[in-house]
Structures are given as C-alpha cells and as structure tokens.
Structure 1
Amino acid sequence: MEAIAQTKTSPRTWEQTVASLTRLSYLTKGILYGCVALFAIQFALGQRGPDPGRKAVLQEFIKTDVGAFVLVLMALSLAGHTVWRMTEIYFDPYKKGKGVLGWIYRLNYFLSGLTYTSLGITAVKLLMGHADDQNQKQLWVSKVLMVKGGDWLIILVGVFLMLWAGLQMYKGISGTVYKSLNKEAFPTWLHGFLWVCNLVGFLTVGGILASTSWYLIKGAWKENPHWVMNMDDLIKSLQAFPGGQWIQMATAIGLTCMALFMLAMARCFPIKTTSSQAC
C-alpha cells in the first residue's frame, strides 16, 4: 500500500519540482538581464569591463568565491526551464490551441528552451574549467555554410528567430504575460510599474532578437559569418550610430525593465505543467 501511495504522489512531486526550478530559472533570467544591463551601461560610459552579454555574466560569476555554487544553481534552474518548455509544447497547459498562433507559441517555447539549454551548457563548461571566448554562433554559421544549401537553412533559422522576436514584441504590447500574473501578491501602486516593465522589457528583448536575426540572415545571404552577432556584439555596435551612447543607455534601461519583470514572474507567474497549478 505504501508503494502505491508513493506512485500516486510521484507525478505531483515531479510537477512541483519542475515548477520550483522554473521559478528559479526566472530569477536566474532576471539576474542575467540585470547584469547585462549593468555591463551595457559601463560600456556606454566608456569604462573597461565585461562584454554586455549573458555569457560574459556567467564568466564573471565563476571568478567569485561562490561562483561555482551560483553556476550550479543556474545550470539546474535552466535545465528545469527547458523541461517546462518541452511540457508546454506537448501538453499545452495554457490552452494555446493548434492554430497558427498556437504553433507560434510552441516555436517560442522551443526556442526559449534551446536558448537557455545553451546557456546551461555554457555554465557547466565553465564549472569544468573550459572557458571559450569564441563566437559560437559565427562558428556554427561557418560550418553550416560549408554544406550545400546551408545558406538557405540559416536563412530559415533566421526567419524563425524573427517570428520569435515578433512574439516577444506582441507580449509587450498586448500585455498577455502581465495580465496572467497573480498581481494580488504586489501592492496596487506597483501594478502600473510592472506594466511598464512588461512593455519596455519585451520590446527591448524583441528588438535585440530581431536585430541579431537580421544579421544572421545577412551573414547567410552574403556567405560571410562575420556578419553574425551575439547580444554583446550588437550592443557594442550601437556606438557606431549617431547618438549610439544614448541608444546603448536606452537598451540598458529596457533590459533592466526586463530583469525586474522576470523577478516578478519568479514571484507569481502561474507555472503549469500537465495540471492547473496556480501561483
């Protein structure tokens, strides 16, 4: 009888574990966005410091006394985030359906899981002492370009990323994620601020993603991987534009808004797996 009881409770335990790791992953994402914003401000002010990218944040953490412990937690939480995204694709707990928008959301889940899996792998590599300063995206593009039809494959990936960027902007403008929060956990005066963070944060992330996707497509079209940019490459390149320093500062503010909204999501976004779990 005891074994049967344990079997019956194990699915619930699994859901709670995934939900806890997912909440921790939003905390991790908030820290990552916040640190990137800080590095972007330092770069805009002409201070020498880390590159304004998530990989550089992980590299800075490993240098601290508690860096290994922090990276282990980050790697675990990002793994939990990936598992949650895969369950979203399969079980559709938020009832997005199987229409066009439903499949676009599933694409968002897949790309989000893939992105943070990559960051988790980077964290594990740093824990193992394998630092890699090369632009992995450029290396991937250069290898794919060597394959017949590889340029069109990269362009297709770029188009998918453009769709993902558009969905991030849609989230910001429509406020769908903001509306789903259990805002009773926050004082009333904070609700408007969270709405602004949702709008500015998702628009900023969507803009960065759209820009990096454009350069990915351009690199494939010109068959030149040096056009391909990561987040840090893009933020640094903004300085070449008129008023580039102020654009970098505005980007940093947008990323700060995203960081704060991720912390709010860690606190009270309704995490669902295969059942209706509330915050």
Structure 2
Amino acid sequence: MIRAGARAGFVARGVLYLLVGVLAVRIGVTGSNEQADRGGALTEVAATPFGAGLLWALGAGLAGMAVWRLCEALFGSAGPKGGSAGKRALSGVRCVFYGVSSFLVLAFAAGDRGSGAGSTDRQSRDVTGRLLALPGGQWWVGAAAAGFVGAGLWIAGRAVLRAYRKHLAWGGMTKPQRRFMDVTGIGGGVGRGLVFGAVGYFGLRAAVTFDPKESKGMDDAIRSFAQTPVGPWLLVAVAVGLVLFGVFSFGQAKWRDV
C-alpha cells in the first residue's frame, strides 16, 4: 500500500512539473502572461474535461508521497545507509513539503481556488515581508534563501553525478531504459536545481536590501532567466529541463526502489 502511494506520488509530481515546464516554454516562446508554477499547472488541469477528478487524483498522489516519506523518516529508507539520522531527517522535511503540497491541491479540488492556485510570487513576497518584520528578520530570510541556493546546487549536482541510479532497479533495466533515465534525470535535475537556485538568489537580495519585493516565487524566478544576456533561450532551456524532470518522475514511478 505504501509502495503504491509512493509510485502514485511520483506520477503526480511528474504531472505538475511537466505542466509547469510546458507553461514556461510557452512563456519563453510567446511571452505570454501564463503562470509557470503550481497554481498555473492546477488551473490547466481544472480546464480539462476530467479536471475535477484529476485534481483529486493529484492531491491523493502527493498525499501518498508524504506518507511514504513519513515512513522513511520513522523507519529508514531503502538502500545503503537508509537508516542514518541525516537521511531520516531529510525524509521528514520531504514529508512536510509533500504534505503541504497535497493539502493545497486537495483544497483547490474542493473549491478553494485561492489555496492551490495563488501566485507563488505573491506568496513569496508575503512570507518574506512577515519574516523581515520579526526580530532578526533579515537573518531568517537570508538563512531560508541560502537553503534554497544550497538545495539547488545539491539537486543539480546529484543529477550530474547520476546519484539517482542507486535508487533505481538499475540491474533489471534495459540499455534504452537506462539511457532514458540518464537523459531525463540529468537534464531534469539541472533544470530544477537552477529554479531552486534562482528562488534562493532573489531571497538573498530581499534579505540584503530589506525589501520583500525583491523576493520571487517559482513563476518570476523562471521568468528572470529571460533577463540574462542569453535572453529567452535560457528560459526555454530551463523550461525544457522542468519538462524532463516531470518525465523523469514518471520513470521513477516505474523503476524506483521503494
């Protein structure tokens, strides 16, 4: 049951990242005002003929992922050193993340359109503003932003080093299947890592300038890549990376050891 929930969670995560990536590609190519984050993805799902059912399925899948991560935090994960304190703590953080994500998606499915579809940019500015208002607020914001930068580097680095292989049933996979996971795993991990890093970078700017308006959520962080010397092409490249990560998640649903 727990394994089935974990695999459903990988599928749900894949759908959301795939949709965010597609939205970001459209932004890079056409300059549209679509929202390339969780809210934009949920809005896209809701607009489909079976949108209501799909939203509930996505929320349930993310809940399954949260339960699996909770079990890992309590009892240890599969693989080498799965019972170490560090890995169990990381699973606990992931449990909270997917639990909150599941709640927001399910709230959106139940009709609370302000819950799952709110702009991550506005939410980021609101949270940053509240933190800055606390004693030592700049340090709190700076620490959280540094965490995002570190997470981005960690995600991209593990992807380049192909660390995901040790979590897959690698020995039982065919050569085309391995190549598929390498292409999507590396490209997807680097793209996802860049987005996390960009969110962290703007969070650090908000901390240094004591200005919550400098903070950006996923949507604005993705759009910021178009402001580099490379222009919209970097945005499109990062967007393709997010699409690849969504596809990689589908592969994890099939071949991940859980």
Contact 2:77–2:88 (CA under 8 A) maintained in structure 1: no
What 5-or-longer segments of structure 2 have no aligned partner?
none
TM-score by length of 2: 0.88
User: What's the CA shift for 1:186?
Assistant: 4.5
User: What's the CA shift for 1:60?
Assistant: 1.9
2:102 is the counterpart of 1:120? yes
Determine helix, strand or coil for the equivalent of 2:2: helix
- The one-character-per-residue Cα deviations of 1:173-232 (angstroms, maximum 9, x if unpaired) are 221212431246653223223212211211221121112112112212222111111121
2:65 is the counterpart of 1:76? no
- The one-character-per-residue Cα deviations of 1:217-260 (angstroms, maximum 9, x if unpaired) are 22122221111111211111222222221101111221122112
Aligned equivalents of 1:164, 1:243: Cα separation in 2:
24
User: What's the CA shift for 1:56?
Assistant: 0.9
Contact 2:194–2:238 (CA under 8 A) maintained in structure 1: no
Amino acid at match of 2:9: S
* Counterparts of residues 70-149 of structure 1 (less than 5 Å): 70-94=54-78, 95-96=81-82, 98=84, 103=86, 105-106=87-88, 108-132=90-114, 133-134=118-119, 135-149=122-136
Report how many residues are paired.
251
TM-score by length of 1: 0.81
Amino acid at match of 1:124: L
Aligned equivalents of 1:253, 1:205: Cα separation in 2:
10
Amino acid at match of 1:232: D
User: What's the CA shift for 1:106?
Assistant: 4.5
Matching residue of 1:207: 194
Instruction: Please report the RMSD computed on the Cα atoms of aligned residues, expressed in angstroms.
Output: 2.1
What 5-or-longer segments of structure 1 have no aligned partner?
1-16, 272-279
Aligned equivalents of 2:49, 2:136: Cα separation in 1:
47
Report % sequence identity. 21
Determine helix, strand or coil for the equivalent of 2:113: coil
Tell me which moved more, 162-171 or 234-243.
162-171
- The one-character-per-residue Cα deviations of 1:108-167 (angstroms, maximum 9, x if unpaired) are 434433333332222123223222334212211111221112221222222333332232
Contact 1:59–1:126 (CA under 8 A) maintained in structure 2: no
Determine helix, strand or coil for the equivalent of 1:52: coil
